[in-house]
Amino acid sequence: MRLAKYLAQCGIGSRRETCRLVEAGRITLNGHIARHTDPIHLDESLNCLDNIELDGAPITKAETLAYWIFNKAVGTDCRLLEQDQTSLIHLLPKVPRLYPVGRLDKDSRGLLLLTNDGELTHKLMHPSFSHSKTYHVRLDRSFTDDFVEQMASGVRYKDLQTLPCHVQRLSSDSFEIVLTQGLNRQIRRMSKALGYRVIDLERIAIMTLNLRELALGELQEGQMRPLTESEVAELKAVLAIK
């Protein structure tokens, strides 16, 4: 197994975060500074046969992979900051250790996936995979059909050009948008570039997970729960994860 994948399965963080730890020289393997290409040797029970340390503290065993969903409320900060009382970290269970897959900004609400599976996080987050996330958005006033067409074809703001996406009107002042990009505050900035202000933004779906479906619809804002085995299997199937 590759080092980054093993570290991610140990609950150290996503693959991207564990790569940063390796680049910073904070991971040692059998007494030497680890490299990204280093393999990890496991026995038949998937116990590590190598001596791996983070900042001198041993990393001994991969955690059981866990997958939860959280219906985030406005005001919760997805950054895991102990000193911030609005941080998601104060709502997470102590066991298993969970990390958010991507973020919803503090003013937004809706579906957030929590896991310690670094491979799944990588598949969902890396832009090369172009996985879909669906949002319901309400603006500060009614908009025209031209607005829908402009949002769908891509919007330029600052030095960025967003990719074409699916946009569908829901009412005179609200719409559904399906993104495969993950730019910071993308929907708010797209809307602002066209002269509108977002007053409510809810993520309703991440790939196969949908808050509007019966199984997930009972989850109230601020609540979280583990995914069922079938929900995990369905998500992994579309991500091509065994």
Q: What residues are labeled active site?
A: 105
CA distance 3 to 27: 10
CA distance 5 to 47: 14
Residue 115's identity, in one-letter code, is: T
Structure tokens at 28: 């040692």
Question: Dmax over Cα atoms in the chain, in whole Å?
Answer: 63
Contact 64, 117 (CB under 8 A): no
φ, ψ for residue 75, nearest 5 deg: 105, -15
Phi/psi region, residue 174 (left: phi>0; alpha: psi -120 to 50; beta: rest), is beta
Q: How far, CA to CA in Å, does 218 sit from each of 141, 200, 208, 210, 225?
A: 30, 21, 17, 11, 11
Element (H, E) at 139: strand 133-139
